[in-house]
Structure 1
Amino acid sequence: MKLVVVDVTELAPPEPMTVIITALARLPADHCLLVTHRRQPFPLYEKLHQAAWAYHCQVHDEDNISLFIYRQIDQLLFEQHFDGEVFNPL
């Protein structure tokens, strides 16, 4: 599983949601989107679930999270490649 990285830390709402949704629409099969964000995008989580996406969030500190988004069918693949690893791109 390969990572595609987007950084939305400097964007004002609703731009992060737009960037993430656009990146997911273009995400190749067997890839994972790694989003660097300054907070958890709680409104996004329900949309992801409804659209058959899964996610894993790592909170590094108050203003720095890594959000992994991948297809629900790739859960095992994600766990084999990334589960337990800590990513802090800053």
Structure 2
Amino acid sequence: MAGPVVAVQTQKWIERASERGKRRQWIFTSLMANRATRLNDDYVRALNSIDLEFSPKRSSVGLLTKRSWTLGERCLANLRTGLLTITRTSI
């Protein structure tokens, strides 16, 4: 009875490991292919994915929440101290 359950769990583990390897390969390929055009969508997406894919077993949601919270705090602090100014330019 435990044999099929163990087989399915093993298959799922292999699939997760394979998907993780594919995502890491995509990041590397995107960074190398678009290194001359740094504002390319794939390049930026790959840069943003590095922390999620290469961090040691952290919760993705916790990491994203922490990063967005600290980014928001930095922007507010810079606005309050005058280090960040928002200007409007016309083209």
- For normalisation by structure 1, the TM-score amounts to 0.28
Mark the structure with the bigger radius of gyration: 2
More helix by share: 2
More strand by share: 1
